Structure 1
Amino acid sequence: MLLSHGGEPLPATESVARWTVEQVLSLAPDDASRKAGNKLAAAGHWSGTGFDGSGAVWGLCKGSGSKPYQTVVDTTGPAYTCSCPSRKFPCKHALGLLLLRASGDGSVPQGEPADWAAQWLTARRGRAEARQAKQEAAASGDAAPGPADNAAARKRAERRAERVTAGALELEQRLTDLLRGGLATADRAGYALWEETAARMVDAQAPGLAGRVRELGAIPGSGPGWPVRLLEECGLLHLLDTAWLGRERLPDPLAATVRTRVGLPLSAEGPPVRDRWLVLAQYDTPDGRLTTRRIWLYGRESGRTALLLSFGAMGRAPELALPVGVTIDAELTPYP
């Protein structure tokens, strides 16, 4: 598999190995999906199954209606599509199909994709090739943004920085009021006060500050000794606020860290690193209204470790998922 500079999958050009059961289950968004996928990992649920050397797997799964669900997986992404109404990603049908393929019992024969599967695969891989061509053109300077584009982007960044600064100043005032009133009384205000402050940080376009404020709101109910923990976290939040307000005086790497902690997006920098990356681990962390997925990679040739971050809305797993133990041929561009 290939990944573009931004982590988007590109078409594979050689045969892709069959995943193991453990690798398939590592992609499940939750325990319920694992159990449901296991139940569907039997040949009796499926018809019209197949796989090819490019990493595609497809099949028709019996459902409650008269028409079976059309399920396709491109393991070079991985990417999934299914005609079922599930909002989980991958759905139980995709997991069941991959588990059936992982069994290696011949229930999923090699062949050419069915028309409905080929249509989706062609469209998906066409988009990936177009993205790659666009990135290569940008890297060569053929599609560099013009002065007007750069000026507009700079103005947008300046306006957002002003809003974040206003939010940081407001948060500093609220922390000061909290300390003056005494931390031991913080539990009397309830969680609503913290949520209102977090909402103000969202309005200021500082989601990183909002997330940390929500964490403060949970501390008073965390058991004995919570005032000490609250003081520590307030101190760290004050430090982040102060760093943002004085970011022009910070070294570039530290200033980049502060911008990330506040919640501002950063652009990739430096040349891409091409390697055969081993997927070491993947885990999800709920973060307020988002789910953050962390995927750790190890470059077999460079010896470098890389972290891929992706995000999903509340109740939905992030789309980017890589089975643990798989080695992928990819280009990764680091962020500061």
Structure 2
Amino acid sequence: MNAMGVRFTSEQVLALAPDDASRRAGSRLGTAGPWSGTGCGEGAVWGECKGSGSSPYRTVVDTTGPAYTCTCPSRKFPCKHALGLLLLHASDGAGFEESAAPDWAGPWLKARRGRAGSTAGRTGDGAPEGPGDPEAARRRAERRAARITSGAQELEQRLADLLRGGLAAAEQPGYGLWEETAARMVDAQAPGLAGRVRELASIPGSGPGWPVRLLEECALTHLLDRAWLAADRLPAPFATTVRTRVGLTAPVDGAPVRDHWLVLAQYDAADARLTTRRIWLHGTTSGRTALLLSFGAAGRAPLLALPVGAVLEGEITPHGGSGQLRAEPGGEFVPVAVPAAPPPGGPVGDALDAYGRALTQDPWLDSWPVTLSGVVPARAEYGWQLADANGREALPLTPAAQSRPGLWRLVALSGGAPVTVFGECGHRGFTPLAAWSPEVPGETVPLI
């Protein structure tokens, strides 16, 4: 295929799967047996997959997104047929004849490319989508700010009552009182404060030393409350960070950045209400690290999905706030066939320094993206850690990371030799997300 249709590797395709069940089902469909009418052209692949019914399922993948459509009834995104088609294309590109899209695939591709062009046009000139009413928007913002202020004041009183009664008694009221407080924060349109309250609720009785952890989280929540109540007196970038942590959306603020982006990692976090997908990118020219967020309703995968290890040409626009890495994609990402070197890294000490500097700009930061170079996974008394090859410093892995299969993938990749690892460094330790071995230059190995 041409540059707009570079084939994904099998590993990159499997990284797009919304869950393990889809990954297994897609793998079973990654052979030529059930497929007919396969083809490719202009950055898309298509095919018909025999199913249990009389008519085959018609599947189309726009690899410049990627984006997918299929006539199957699955609510997963991408479905097993899209994964199987991409896996077949990855393993047997010769079986996909270059041609014009068939009648059943062409209209969807044309409509999708038209929508993408319209979106790119709006992003490029910065024009709003509609006239809007600035005065009405200002009044809505003022009403919401007043509700959040009321919620922050109520939460301050709740924290004061907790400390007055003593942390040792925090177990007695149980989870219900905290959940009631969290619900009040939701009513106040402050989901960030609600999330912090639920975090407080999970600490009492959670293991040795929980009163210390509860005091730390209470202090951070109090700091956020006070920062919101004094936001008009804070420096503008920090005030934006405070508003974001409370639950307001940070505005897109900055010049668009066009680059070749290496997809470092992609993973989902879900609760009863929402699935949040985090995608880490590294600009091979700009050296910029960016975080793309995509959201889906509970039980449904977010729309945005990028193959880990791929290099994509595209444009992002950063959000505002001090120390923020979040950005919005502009238009489509196009796969390009260029070498993908890992981000420049450093020893463990440099990673800790980077996290410390980030905390000075955002005290509520859970973690910060860093790249460790020349580190070796090693077993310690308290669990696994990544140690500098000279053995001078080491960074423990988070408890969650130590229970994932990616840990053993990392250990096997290293084999006792130094490797380069990208991940998130925070107060609970380090979460490895991708790794590279000197023996296989340019191959990104996903760890989550």
- TM-score normalized by the length of structure 1: 0.89
1:168 aligns with 2:152: yes
Alignment of structure 1 residues 252-331 onto 2, 5 Å: 252-286=236-270, 289-331=273-315
The equivalent of 2:100 in structure 1 is 112
**Rounded Cα–Cα distance in structure 1 between residues aligned with 2:315 and 2:4:** 19
**Rounded Cα–Cα distance in structure 2 between residues aligned with 1:50 and 1:306:** 34
**Structure 1 residues 288 and 235 mapped into 2: Cα distance closer, same or farther (>3 Å)?**
farther
The equivalent of 1:125 in structure 2 is 113
**Rounded Cα–Cα distance in structure 1 between residues aligned with 2:244 and 2:208:** 32
Q: CA deviation at 1:206?
A: 1.0
Q: CA deviation at 1:288?
A: 5.6
Higher alpha-carbon deviation: 251-260 or 175-184: 175-184
Q: 1:211, 1:288 within 8 Å by CA — same for their partners in 2?
A: no
**Structure 1 residues 191 and 70 mapped into 2: Cα distance closer, same or farther (>3 Å)?**
farther
Structure 2 unmatched runs, 5+: 321-448
Alignment of structure 1 residues 113-262 onto 2, 5 Å: 113-139=101-127, 149-262=133-246
1:94 aligns with 2:78: no
Q: 1:275, 1:329 within 8 Å by CA — same for their partners in 2?
A: yes
Aligned length: 319
Q: 1:211, 1:287 within 8 Å by CA — same for their partners in 2?
A: no
Q: Over aligned residue pairs, what C-alpha RMSD do you find?
A: 1.9
1:69 aligns with 2:53: no
**Rounded Cα–Cα distance in structure 1 between residues aligned with 2:125 and 2:219:** 46
Q: 2:265, 2:279 within 8 Å by CA — same for their partners in 1?
A: yes
**Rounded Cα–Cα distance in structure 1 between residues aligned with 2:283 and 2:105:** 33
Q: Give the fraction of aligned pairs with identical amino acids, expressed as a percent.
A: 69
**Rounded Cα–Cα distance in structure 2 between residues aligned with 1:257 and 1:105:** 47
1:78-99 Cα shifts (integer Å, max 9, x gaps): 1111222222211111111111
- TM-score normalized by the length of structure 2: 0.68
**Rounded Cα–Cα distance in structure 1 between residues aligned with 2:266 and 2:204:** 31
Alignment of structure 1 residues 40-79 onto 2, 5 Å: 40-52=29-41, 54-79=42-67
**Secondary structure of residue in 2 paired with 1:333:** strand
**Secondary structure of residue in 2 paired with 1:159:** helix
Code of the aligned partner of 2:112 = R
Larger relative helix fraction: 1
**Secondary structure of residue in 2 paired with 1:170:** helix
**Rounded Cα–Cα distance in structure 1 between residues aligned with 2:39 and 2:204:** 55
Q: CA deviation at 1:321?
A: 1.1
Structure 1 unmatched runs, 5+: 1-12
Q: 2:204, 2:214 within 8 Å by CA — same for their partners in 1?
A: yes
Code of the aligned partner of 2:142 = E
Larger relative strand fraction: 2
Q: CA deviation at 1:295?
A: 1.2
Q: 1:209, 1:263 within 8 Å by CA — same for their partners in 2?
A: yes
Q: 1:48, 1:60 within 8 Å by CA — same for their partners in 2?
A: yes
